[in-house]
């Protein structure tokens, strides 16, 4: 078996295949955490995904961090949005009106950490 590895190009192709397989698995896991975060937000009646193009962008992560810390005021959460997101401020405030509980924060914490 070790002699087979000495064939020119074989090590490189195996390395590439391993890297590709690992990357696919990481992307799959990232998607699962993203969906879990979206589902938890929807359970809290937060419709952020309808306003933000990426709930895990800079603005979304800032809001998620605040929600995990216990913040539930839609105005304060909307203040965390970046300037480009603030164009939709009224929509964002409405999307952030929900019933966030400690349970939602506890559910979001590990998914955001893993993400």
What integer pLDDT is reported at residue 88 of this predicted model? 79
Task: Please list the alpha-helical segments (H only) found in the chain.
Answer: 2-5, 10-43, 58-68, 74-79, 89-95, 102-114
What integer pLDDT is reported at residue 18 of this predicted model? 87
Per the structure, the complete domain to which residue 16 belongs is given by 2-114
Q: pTM value?
A: 0.75
Q: What is the pLDDT of residues 89-101, one digit of tens each?
A: 888 999 999 999 9
Number of domains in the chain: 1
In whole angstroms, give the CA distance from residue 55 to residue 49.
6
What integer pLDDT is reported at residue 89 of this predicted model? 84
- Please provide the distance, in angstroms rounded to a whole number, between the alpha carbons at the two ends of the chain: 38
What integer pLDDT is reported at residue 8 of this predicted model? 59
What integer pLDDT is reported at residue 10 of this predicted model? 57
Residues of the chain with pLDDT under 50: none
């Amino acid at each position: 078996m070790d002699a087979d590895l000495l064939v020119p190009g074989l090590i490189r192709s195996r390395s590439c295949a391993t890297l590709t397989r690992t990357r696919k698995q990481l992307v799959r896991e990232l998607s699962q955490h993203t969906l879990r975060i979206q589902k938890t937000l929807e359970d809290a009646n937060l419709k952020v995904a309808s306003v933000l193009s990426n709930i895990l962008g800079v603005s979304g992560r800032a809001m998620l961090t605040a929600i995990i810390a216990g913040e539930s005021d839609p105005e304060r959460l909307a203040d965390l949005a970046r300037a480009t997101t603030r164009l939709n401020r009224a929509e964002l405030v409405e999307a952030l009106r929900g019933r966030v509980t400690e349970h939602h924060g506890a559910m979001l914490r590990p998914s955001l950490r893993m993400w």
